[in-house]
Amino acid sequence: MSGDTDLIKLYSQRILALAADIPHAGRLKDPQVSLRKRAPLCGSTVTVDLDMADGRIARFGQDVKACALGQAAAALMGADILGRTKPEVEAARDALRAMLRDSGPAPGAPFHGYDVLEPARDYRNRHASILLSLEATAEAMAEAERATACA
């Protein structure tokens, strides 16, 4: 029975609400960069479309095919993603990874709300899905920087 209680805590109403309302859901028309990333263990995928201007995300779209935890993480990121720099996204990604793997603190400003995912620490098989949106976004931003440098 404790397994059922753990799952109820893991899939809280807050996580399910976030998963149901992902900001910037959908693809952009003619993005500067489009990147698809897949978590091999669970099969979750995130496709990120973005435009950068002056080193910041100017336009953003995401197509998320993931479990509720991955969707919730994408929703949290999407709520704060516009105007972010690559170092900010990378810091949030690294903090989220440390929160899940090393019981570190949740990512801080400018990203908020990731503490709702703390119960997932004990579910290592879910970590890749939770990290997917931030990882894909950081990689897409790096690709945009490379394209700009070569132009």
Residue 81 CB neighbours (<10 A)? 24
Q: Where are the alpha helices (DSSP H) in 30-123?
A: 68-80, 86-102
Task: Kindly report the pTM of this predicted structure.
Answer: 0.91
Q: Whole domain around residue 43: which residue ranges? A: 2-150
CATH of the domain at 112: 3.90.1010.10
Strands 45-53 and 33-38: antiparallel
Give the whole-angstrom CA distance, residue 85 versus residue 5.
39
Q: Which residues pair with 63 in a beta bridge?
A: 47
**3-class secondary structure per residue, 36-53:** EEECCCCCCEEEEEEEEE
- For the chain, the domain total comes to 1
Average pLDDT score over the chain: 92
Structure tokens at 30: 């003619």
Mean pLDDT of 52-77: 96
